[in-house]
Amino acid sequence: MPRPRLPANSTLPPRVQAVTGKRGGVRYYYRAAGGRKIALGSDPNTMRVKWAEIENGGRSQPGTFKAAWLAYKKAHFPKIAPRTRKDYEAESVPLLKVFGPHRLDAIEPQHVRKYLDARGEVAKVRANREKALLSSIFNWARENGLTSAPNPCAGVKRHAEAPRERYVTDSELRALLEKADAIVRDAIEIAYHAGQRPADVLKAKRQDVQEGCLRFRQAKTGAMVPVRLVGRLAAVVEAILTRSRKVTGVYLVQDDNGQPLTYWQLRARFDAAREAAGVSFQFRDLRAKAGTDMRRAAGWDAAQGLLGHAEPGTTKRYIRARDGDAVDPVEFGTSVETNGTSDPAKAG
């Protein structure tokens, strides 16, 4: 007959015991065959995830959120960009700590609300992204028969996020270009004139210049955006392709030795130029300026095409915080009560 569990361990999973350290901290251990102890850490949620893996031979327990996450990764990750995979991996860590060992049908909207509130104390934006991933996993699990439970994220409001409103003026951009070195100028001009993200600018290659266009395969969305080589963009690309170098590499943005710039190298050079120019915007703001300027010049459809957004609503949300729609002021005298005079002092 097995020995009864100590009161301190009565609420823990089978074969798990809590050990209180000299300084009061608690650590959890799994008692394996032969009395061997396996450390499970000090976090109770992490402990339950590790316990479930041990109990299932290193596999997550079927029907749990962690099992759904692993299945989602296997099916979904080959279809998405590396940067998105990296983001999902980071967002999954806090989700697994809280929801990992629990069955999908046991996760309710109230649990998602508590999670958002707890995470929102230190990371409101990250908490919103984590909720989005949680919802995506649930929808996928429902579609593939892993659960018939409703998505617990439905109807749970995310934290309010203030949209970025920074608009780069023409004078600021000119000041930055005057202080930037040749390599950073290449990156800045391509990013602005083509309206693309920093990562997509850095991975653009000479072979992407085809049939009068510079073709971008966006890493975030997978969309192909061919930008016509006309005007200033054509001049910039032509200068890059014909520039004399010690070694010529395959990338458009490259140093004199033909080596591509990493994101952090670009960031360091950009920051130096920004400080010298006395401006404060970020490299990513160039894409927003491109979309805003295109919208003003040619309308919403042209801005959407340049930015590569699949939906017009995405473009409008992205630009409106920086641009907005200009409106006319109201003139006094439009009401019949003023007898047609435009001077408030004479009305009536």
Tell me the per-residue pLDDT of 219-268, one tens digit each, with 9 for 90 and over: 887 889 999 999 999 999 999 999 888 888 899 999 888 888 888 899 99
Specify the pLDDT at position 61. Answer: 61
Whole-Å CA distances, 275 to 11, 114, 212 = 58, 42, 36
Average pLDDT for residues 328-347, to the nearest whole number? 64
Residue 54 has pLDDT above 80, yes or no: no
> Which residues, 6+ apart, have CB-to-CB distance to 128 below 8 Å?
116, 158, 159, 161
Q: Which residue has the higher pLDDT, 142 or 317?
A: 142
The backbone region for 257, taken as left when phi is positive above 0, alpha when psi lies in -120 to 50, beta otherwise, is alpha
The C-alpha R_g of the chain, in whole angstroms, comes to: 28
pLDDT at 154 over 90: yes
The larger pLDDT score, comparing residue 83 to residue 91, is at 91
Split at pLDDT 50, 70, 90, the class of 57 is low
pLDDT, tens digit (0-9, with 9 covering 90-100), for 109-150 = 999 999 999 987 778 889 999 999 999 999 999 998 888 899
At CA 128, angle to CA 126 and CA 133, rounded to 5? Answer: 95
Mean pLDDT of 4-18: 71
User: How far is Cα 128 from Cα 120, in angstroms, rounded to an integer?
Assistant: 8
pLDDT of residue 179: 94
Q: Is the pLDDT of residue 215 over 90?
A: yes
Is-above-0.75 flag for pTM? Answer: no
pLDDT band at 5 (very low <50, low <70, confident <90, very high): low
Query: Does the domain spanning 170-281 belong to CATH 1.10.443.10?
Result: yes
